[in-house]
Chain A
Amino acid sequence: MKRDYLILLLVTLVAFTLPMILPGDYYVEVFLFMGINILVALGLSLLMGYAGQISLGHAGFYGMGAYISGALTAHLGWPVPLAALVALVATALVAALVGWPTLRLRGHYLAMATLGLGIILYILFVQLKGITGGASGLSGIQPVHAGDLYLDTPRRYCYLVWSLVILAFLFSLNLVKSRSGLALRALHYSEVAASTLGIDVAKYKLQVFVFSCVLAALGGVLYAHYITFISPETFGFMYSIKLVVMIVLGGMYSLWGALLGGAFLSLLPEFLHRLEDLEVMVHGLILLMVLIFLPGGLTGLIQKIGEKIRGSS
């Protein structure tokens, strides 16, 4: 466990020095968006790795955060922190509403329910033209600012994003070490046994689900207030799939999987940009290949390598 905090320290150091040494705004932006992806992925990692559930609608929650906060600032001129808070609370409520009936059931109904929810949200993003601007998108979203200090340059926003990423990881690591983490790990290995020890399995799954949706919404808020213009395609089914691929690739059973998977997949488009049409298939293939040949993902691979090194020394 202590090792995890050391890794976090290392990540913090990298996150704060990298923007200073990267050769230009474009690369800083790549790092910025990578941070947002990782933030969203972290929530999903907790959900999949600890609660053992899949969400196929996280793009929808991401979008909820972006649209609610964006619209409140663009149409009603609300200050960003307030708009963001409302967006997070609203997302938490919707998540609870959907999660409660589905997580009570034994089985994997959440996956289908979130698939549906993600699609519905996308439909809403397109249909509610008055609020979201429909397919043409929503513009005029306020950037983040405290008084006269505007956080709208890539470097400054990058620090904002990565600060939140670090904090989210810190929270998650603490959680795993706590009573809740013990309960989650227990229910992961045996729901029946966990329930006989007094663990309300459905409740814990719901808590993790809501938390993961809030993190997704937070990512959406960060995205909207940097780009100041959003449109529905960003929040479609494909992004939900990408998130799942991030987790599987990085490794489902470690929070760091979100970091590795998120980093890798955020960089992938940079290499694929001429082969855009292949994007869909490539993601599916990565998912299948990793599952069949490398079930522990990248973090699993690193662990195995680490064990081999320790074994031979």
Chain B
Amino acid sequence: MVVLDARGVKKSFGGVKALRGVDVTVQEGTITALIGPNGSGKTTLFNILSGVLPMDEGKVIFMNREIGNWPAYKRAALGIARTFQNLQIFQEMSVLENVMAGGFRHTSSGFMAGGLSLPKVRGEMRALEKKALKLLEELELTPYAHVQAGELPFGIQRKVEIARALALEPRLLLLDEPAAGLTTKETLALARFIHGLKERSITVFLVEHDMDLVMGISDWVIVLNFGQKIYEGTPLAVKRERTVIKAYLGEKRAKG
């Protein structure tokens, strides 16, 4: 089943054509990677798909629903979650609170109910806390539950952000350069973790520079260059494809 289907996505910044009409299809339960040299437009496309940036032209369909230029918060309500390359965790909130925030879309009480501290509100918040604690346990983050997120080492902060995204219980998880800034050991653990997400029926779409990670876990790889899709296929096929190698010619196959 197709989870995400983007067609003819175009985006310009002033005179610069960042995306010239890109088609992307993501199959359910797969790990799809978006790669390309710097300036290829992959970050722009990623931001458009997550609703943070509006596109100029194009069609985006999520689970048979046209989401066009829907803002990010509406996409989250449908089950699209994302992480950020430069980490946007809530620095001065505890790890637990960060992850609780992730579960926001499963709550519904309003302003007045909150102020009056109605039983529904208290129940919701308790449920949110329970779920968050469980998630923390699964990700081995429990010792940090009450620590301020901003005070933790980078690798742990990354984990917290992923935990927060998972708390949303997404159908589609968008990972923005998840390996950026991680050590080799941490990247390996990340790879294992992302692979494990398949068992939770979460479809993963990631943008990444680290080729080892991409080739190691992806089911499908899409290659962009100069705002256009130049190739897509299995990791093996992509590795061998001449146009892809040419696009990367001169670039080291280095990490992040």
Contacts and interface: CB of A to CB of B under 8 A. Distances in A.
Q: Do chains A and B touch in the complex (CB under 8 A)?
A: yes
A209 to B, nearest CB: 12
Interface stretch (A48-56, A81-89, A193-201, A223-231): A193-201
A312 interface: no
B89 interface: yes
Contacts of A196: 50-52, 72-73, 75-76, 81-82
B105 A197 contact: yes
Interface stretch (A119-127, A144-152, A171-179, A268-276): A171-179
B116 A171 contact: yes
A182 B97 contact: yes
Contact of A198 (B105, B121, B125): B105
Interface in B63-120: 71-73, 75-77, 81-82, 84, 88-93, 97, 100-102, 104-105, 107-111, 113-117
Interface extent on B, as a size class?
35 or more
A189 interface: yes
Interface of A is mostly: helix
Nearest to A183: B104
B92 to A, nearest CB: 6
B168 interface: yes
The bracket for how many chain A residues form the interface is 20 to 34
Which residue, A175, A177, A197, has most C-beta atoms of chain B within 10 A?
A197
A174 B114 contact: yes
25 contacts: A175-B114, A175-B115, A177-B114, A177-B117, A177-B125, A178-B113, A178-B117, A179-B125, A180-B109, A180-B114, A182-B100, A182-B101, A182-B104, A182-B125, A183-B104, A186-B93, A190-B88, A193-B84, A194-B101, A195-B72, A196-B51, A198-B73, A198-B104, A200-B73, A207-B111
Interface of B: 50-52, 71-73, 75-77, 81-82, 84, 88-93, 97, 100-102, 104-105, 107-111, 113-117, 121, 124-125, 128, 164, 168
Given A179-B109, A180-B115, A181-B114, 20 more contacts: A174-B115, A174-B117, A175-B115, A178-B109, A179-B104, A182-B97, A185-B93, A189-B92, A190-B88, A190-B89, A193-B89, A194-B101, A195-B73, A195-B76, A196-B51, A197-B81, A197-B164, A197-B168, A201-B73, A211-B111
Q: 5 tightest A-B contacts by CB? A: A178-B114, A198-B76, A193-B88, A198-B105, A174-B117
